[in-house]
């Protein structure tokens, strides 16, 4: 394959705000993002709640129709796929949600839940029961659990089942929408390690959506920082944590709790005031300028482009623009 597995160009998703008579405005959930994901790569997407991370993931998978823009999967425009081509894309591009309990039908047992995706896509299985048993054992579950129902499992076990329902289709790209945020810390570690092992074994590509920067650092090869529907910075995980450039990225990193109190006191912190502006009426120019301690006259007047300041390190900030 030539080029990245996933290529996102100018992707926008606006939700109408309906008044009593007509549409009174739009929520700019995703407002013109560009992103690439290579084969066997994990790209982390981070930012405050409400910045558009989950919406971006759903639009990339075409679970939501876009307002404008393009998503290319293996060089094919996802938004132009129909019929069998769209069904094949659905098989190859999957999502794992935050709460496994709400994504599993409580009226179906585990055997039925795991076999359902195969029936939908018309994938034949010679010995369904042995297939499901082998699948369960591959994610650390037991043969005796095959006919149990979701409520009989712990949160970590339910998430393993949700992951397994995706894996039986043998996808190449998975959106992980905060897959461990509802789990205990010890269970989180087990699930994250399992996801990394599966990526290495099956050659998967991930879009890992989270607000937990520590988890994203562990999982991701590259990290994209999102603010109010826009991408503020994209770089490798190491550069984001060691050489971050955008003021918003620096503020996110300074908010990470550090157990070592002596180091925490010495660490340079960048605090930002106020709440994110409304996505219905976003600020002009740079979206971050009302809260940025370094904003100057140009910031509210022009919108900065996402420019490459170092190889594969992109920043949307006039402090780093060379034009």
- Report whether pLDDT(184) > 80: no
Task: Tell me the DSSP string of 123-148.
Answer: ---SSHHHHHHHHHHHTT--GGGTT-
Name the pLDDT band for 263 (thresholds 50, 70, 90): very low
pLDDT, one tens digit per residue, over 16-59 is 998 778 888 999 999 999 999 999 999 999 998 889 999 999 99
Q: Torsion angle of alpha carbons 208, 214, 215, 217, nearest 10°? A: 60
> 184 in helix, strand or coil?
coil
Q: What is the DSSP letter of 98?
A: S
Region 6-315: CATH code: 3.40.50.300
Q: For 239-249, write each residue's pLDDT tens digit.
A: 999 888 899 99
The mean pLDDT value of the chain amounts to 89
**Quick check: 61 pLDDT over 90?**
yes
Q: Angle 128-138/110-120 helices, nearest 10 degrees?
A: 110
Q: How many CB atoms lie within 10 A of CB 36?
A: 18
Domain ranges of the chain: 6-315
Which has more confidence, 260 or 183? 183
Which pLDDT belongs to residue 267? 53
Task: Round to whole Å and give the CA distance between 276 and 323.
Answer: 28
Q: What is the pTM of this model?
A: 0.91
Count of beta carbons in the 10 Å neighbourhood of residue 253? 18
Report strand pairing: 222-227 vs 205-209: unpaired
* Residue 118: per-residue pLDDT: 93
């Amino acid at each position: 394959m030539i080029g990245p597995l996933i290529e996102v160009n100018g992707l926008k998703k606006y939700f109408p705000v309906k008044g009593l008579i007509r549409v009174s405005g739009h929520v700019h959930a995703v407002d013109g993002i560009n992103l690439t994901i290579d084969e066997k790569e994990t790209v982390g997407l981070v930012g405050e709640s409400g910045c558009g991370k989950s919406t971006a993931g759903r639009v990339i998978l075409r679970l939501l129709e876009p307002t404008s823009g393009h998503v290319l999967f293996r060089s094919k425009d996802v938004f132009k796929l129909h019929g069998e081509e769209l069904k094949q894309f659905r098989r190859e591009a999957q999502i794992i949600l935050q709460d496994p309990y709400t994504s599993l039908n409580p009226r179906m047992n585990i055997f039925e839940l795991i076999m359902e995706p195969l029936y939908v896509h018309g994938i034949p299985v010679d010995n369904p029961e042995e297939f499901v048993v082998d699948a369960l054992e591959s994610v650390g579950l037991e043969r005796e659990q095959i006919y149990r129902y979701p409520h009989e499992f712990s949160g970590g076990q339910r998430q393993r089942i949700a992951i397994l329902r995706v894996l039986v289709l043998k996808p190449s790209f998975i959106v992980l929408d905060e897959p461990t945020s509802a789990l205990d810390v010890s269970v989180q570690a087990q699930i994250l390690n399992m996801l990394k092992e599966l990526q290495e074994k099956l050659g998967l590509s991930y879009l890992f959506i989270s607000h937990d920067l520590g988890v994203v650092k562990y999982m991701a090869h590259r990290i994209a920082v999102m603010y109010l529907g826009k991408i503020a910075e994209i770089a490798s995980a190491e550069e984001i944590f060691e050489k971050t450039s955008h003021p918003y990225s620096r503020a996110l990193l300074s908010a990470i709790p550090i157990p070592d109190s002596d180091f925490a006191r010495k660490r340079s912190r960048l605090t930002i005031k106020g709440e994110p502006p409304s996505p219905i009426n976003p600020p002009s120019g740079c979206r971050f300028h009302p809260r940025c301690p370094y904003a100057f006259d140009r910031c509210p007047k022009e919108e900065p482009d996402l420019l490459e300041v170092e190889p594969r390190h992109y920043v949307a900030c006039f402090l780093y623009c060379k034009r």
